[in-house]
Amino acid sequence: MKAKVYITLKDGIHDPQGRAVQQSLHTLGFEAVQDVRVGKCLEIELQDMEKEAAEIFLKSMCQKLLANMVIEDFRYEIVST
């Protein structure tokens, strides 16, 4: 089964990378862009298991390694079983 994990900076944490991307988009004429936040997306292949069990694994992986809870939030989804 396959899962996707999204790691993003917490609200209120300054994201200079997102700001640079936003400015570049403005330069290209996409002036409607009001804010950009850059995060990470991880695609994880898991051995088949119950969805609930997979979610427990994913949460634990995020808390232990994939996200730094001081500065980042995470969410995950099972995309195929």
Write out the residues near other proteins by the rule CB under 8 A. 13-14, 16-17, 20, 65-66, 68, 70-71
CA distance 50 to 5: 17
Nearer to other proteins, 9 or 78 (CB): 9
The answer to whether 76 and 36 are in contact (CB under 8 A) is: no
Q: How far is the CB of 53 from other proteins (least distance, A)?
A: 23
Q: What pairs with residue 5 in β-bridges?
A: 42, 76
The answer to whether 3 and 54 are in contact (CB under 8 A) is: yes
Q: How far is the CB of 80 from other proteins (least distance, A)?
A: 24
Nearer to other proteins, 32 or 70 (CB): 70
Q: Count of alpha carbons within 13 Å of 47, Cβ hemisphere only?
A: 0
Nearer to other proteins, 43 or 48 (CB): 43
Q: How far is the CB of 52 from other proteins (least distance, A)?
A: 26
